[in-house]
């Protein structure tokens, strides 16, 4: 399966993160779409129908990212599209274990900063 040219929508209110993530993905041949809030993300999703979503968990509000996921899951057009959730929350906080990927209804849950190689590996696995 040729992954080049697959379209990935990044939804994150941190423009620096959108930019660097976009650079990594573009270098691997993906087409990148950008949204800087949950609302914009859902609009772009409708208009552009991307192949994969990369969503920041904590944007303007605490749970904006998971609200975006909820909306994507509710819509049958986007329900089966792969999703990667990314957050700067400390996921390994050893004494207050964090709910896993399952809880977030995502294929992967990654912690910022994501090493480029790891990001690309997850994207490939999620799309395949």
Binding site for another protein (CB under 8 A): 14, 16-17, 20-21, 23-24, 27, 58, 62, 88-90, 92-97, 112-116
CB of 64 to another protein, least distance (A): 12
Closest by CA position to 60, among listed 77, 79, 39, 30: 39
DSSP per-residue codes, 29-79: T-EEEEESSHHHHHHHHHHH--SEEEEESSSSSTTHHHHHHHHHHHSTTTT
Nearer to another protein by Cβ, of 73 and 91: the residue is 91
CB of 16 to another protein, least distance (A): 4
CB of 103 to another protein, least distance (A): 16
Nearer to another protein by Cβ, of 78 and 122: the residue is 122
């Amino acid at each position: 399966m040729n992954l080049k040219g697959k379209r990935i929508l990044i939804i994150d209110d941190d423009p620096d993160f959108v930019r660097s993530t976009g650079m990594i993905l573009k270098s691997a041949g993906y087409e990148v779409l950008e949204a800087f809030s949950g609302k914009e993300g859902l609009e772009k999703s409708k208009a552009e129908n991307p192949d994969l979503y990369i969503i920041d968990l904590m944007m303007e509000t605490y749970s904006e990212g998971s609200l975006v996921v909820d909306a994507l899951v509710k819509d049958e057009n986007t329900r089966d599209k792969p999703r990667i959730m990314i957050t700067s929350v400390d996921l390994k906080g050893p004494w207050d274990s964090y709910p896993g990927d399952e809880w977030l209804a995502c294929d992967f849950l990654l912690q910022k900063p994501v090493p480029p190689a790891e990001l690309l590996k997850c994207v490939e696995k999620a799309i395949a």
